């Protein structure tokens, strides 16, 4: 449920004039006792309370977010992170791998020997979170953080025979634009066009010779990737033009390369999503969204002199908390549990007793 629906449900169950009863926000009949700003604030408070009451259970507020890498030893945790499940690192243009977690003792004994070295590069380990940061080893360098600039040419729809494609590439110095052209033939598709224009690009002075400013281009399906030879390479501009209208290409006007750089991905439980805009939704499973309304109503009804309704909605809120605590068990049924005992499941021999 988006913030708008949560607000409307609150006013409706509170028996206040609101959108659900024909009084749009801002209209003369709209309630003034519980305005938008107050309800929004209290729903956010209820969200934090609900996640806390549920024990900040994994899967109640789980997130997976990817961030650019910074050239720092101590990397900040995502805002609202309460526990980490996994961290992955992706070097630009290469395969993703998992960072190995270490506690403080393991960090000293197995990784650093008690010293922070000046070594930089792709990290392979991280120290457990402390004060909102994890420590990476080795620390990413400027090269890891910025990386080479990249640009993408994307083709859509099948081309018509004779459509002429021209790619324009201008170095950061602005010293002359390099072009590559391909004319479509019968049987061409966006993928074959991408492959053929890639070959043409790689034959130009943009890629070969002493004035080259691009690494060899590559094609994957209908996308051509252009990569700068140096970092950050964001001064390079490019675009493509096509005759005819059957196939299209983007960008069709001058665009600058974007910095590549490595990325880091966090799998974590959070404290929820702050609700600000009308379409914002809480960072918890949809079936628990009404719990926020119930909690707010349990606070609002005493103001309207009804402890009975306050207790009623508090009870409904607490029932949602109980369901949230069992959510992990209910949701995690991807494998058939063992019928063996605890020792059998863990792969350990049980205690031996002789008869």
Does the residue 96 lie in any domain? Answer: yes
pLDDT bin (cut points 50, 70, 90) of residue 250 is very high
Does the residue 335 lie in any domain? Answer: no
Element (DSSP H or E) covering residue 293: helix 290-300
Q: Are residues 158 and 140 in the same domain?
A: no
Does the residue 39 lie in any domain? Answer: yes
Q: What is the residue range of 153's domain?
A: 148-259
User: Are residues 56 and 83 in contact, defined by beta-carbon separation less than 8 angstroms?
Assistant: yes
Per-residue pLDDT tens digits for 234-246: 889 999 999 998 9
> pLDDT value at position 56?
60
pLDDT bin (cut points 50, 70, 90) of residue 44 is very high
In 3-state terms, what secondary structure has residue 72?
Answer: coil
Does the residue 348 lie in any domain? Answer: no
Q: Are residues 139 and 104 in the same domain?
A: yes
How many C-beta atoms lie closer than 10 Å to residue 184's C-beta?
24
Does the residue 337 lie in any domain? Answer: no
Q: Among residues 182, 137, 190, which one has the least CA distance to residue 163? A: 182
Does the residue 7 lie in any domain? Answer: yes
End-to-end CA distance of the chain: 62
Element (DSSP H or E) covering residue 327: helix 327-331
Does the residue 347 lie in any domain? Answer: no
Buried b / exposed e across 87-126, counting CB within 10 Å, b at 16+?
A: bebbbbeeeeeebebbeeeebeeebbeeeeeeebebbebb
Q: Are residues 254 and 160 in the same domain?
A: yes
Q: Are residues 172 and 236 in the same domain?
A: yes
Q: Fill in the DSSP letter of residue 140.
A: P
Q: Are residues 115 and 134 in the same domain?
A: yes
Q: Among residues 214, 227, 265, 216, which one has the least CA distance to residue 147? A: 227
pLDDT bin (cut points 50, 70, 90) of residue 330 is low
pLDDT (mean) for 125-136: 92
Domain final residue pick, 270, 293, 319? 270
Better-predicted residue by pLDDT, 165 or 283:
165
Q: How many domains does the chain have?
A: 3
Domain final residue pick, 232, 249, 270? 270
Find the CATH number of the domain harbouring 238.
2.60.40
Rounded percentage of the chain residues whose pLDDT exceeds 70: 91
Residue 354 has pLDDT above 70, yes or no: no
Q: Are residues 19 and 95 in the same domain?
A: no
Does the residue 254 lie in any domain? Answer: yes
Residue 183 has pLDDT above 60, yes or no: yes
Per-residue pLDDT tens digits for 298-320: 999 999 999 999 999 999 999 99
Q: Are residues 73 and 46 in the same domain?
A: no
Q: Are residues 255 and 266 in the same domain?
A: no
> pLDDT value at position 334?
53
């Amino acid at each position: 449920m988006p913030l708008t629906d949560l607000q409307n449900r609150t006013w409706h169950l509170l028996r206040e004039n609101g959108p659900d009863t024909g009084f749009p926000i801002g209209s003369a009949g709209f309630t003034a006792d519980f305005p938008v700003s107050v309800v929004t604030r209290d729903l956010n408070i209820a969200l934090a309370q609900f996640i806390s009451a549920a024990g900040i259970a994994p899967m109640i507020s789980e997130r997976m977010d990817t961030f650019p890498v910074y050239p720092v030893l101590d990397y900040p945790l995502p805002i609202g992170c309460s526990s980490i499940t996994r961290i992955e690192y992706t070097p630009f243009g290469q395969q993703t791998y998992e960072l190995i977690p270490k506690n403080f003792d393991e960090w000293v004994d197995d990784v650093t020997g008690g010293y922070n070295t000046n070594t930089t590069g792709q990290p392979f380990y991280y120290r457990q979170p402390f004060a909102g940061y994890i420590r990476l080893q080795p620390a990413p360098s400027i090269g890891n953080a910025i990386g080479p600039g990249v640009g993408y040419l994307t083709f859509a729809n099948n081309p018509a025979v004779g459509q002429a494609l021209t790619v324009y590439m201008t170095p950061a110095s602005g010293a002359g634009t390099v072009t590559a052209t391909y004319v479509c033939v019968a049987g061409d598709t966006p993928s074959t066009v991408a492959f053929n224009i890639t070959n043409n690009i790689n034959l130009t002075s943009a890629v070969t010779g002493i004035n080259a400013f691009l690494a060899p281009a590559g094609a994957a399906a209908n996308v051509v990737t252009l990569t700068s030879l140096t970092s950050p390479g964001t001064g390079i501009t490019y675009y493509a033009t096509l005759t005819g209208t059957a196939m299209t290409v983007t960008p069709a006007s001058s665009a600058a390369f974007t910095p590549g750089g490595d990325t880091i991905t966090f799998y974590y439980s959070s404290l929820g999503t702050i609700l600000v805009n009308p379409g914002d939704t809480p960072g918890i499973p949809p079936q628990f969204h009404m719990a926020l309304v119930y909690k707010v109503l349990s606070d609002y009804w005493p103001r309207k002199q009804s402890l009975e309704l306050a207790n009623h909605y508090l009870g409904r809120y607490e029932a949602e908390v109980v369901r949230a605590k069992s959510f992990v068990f209910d949701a995690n049924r991807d494998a058939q549990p063992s019928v063996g005992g605890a020792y059998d499941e863990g792969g350990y021999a049980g205690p031996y007793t002789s008869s």
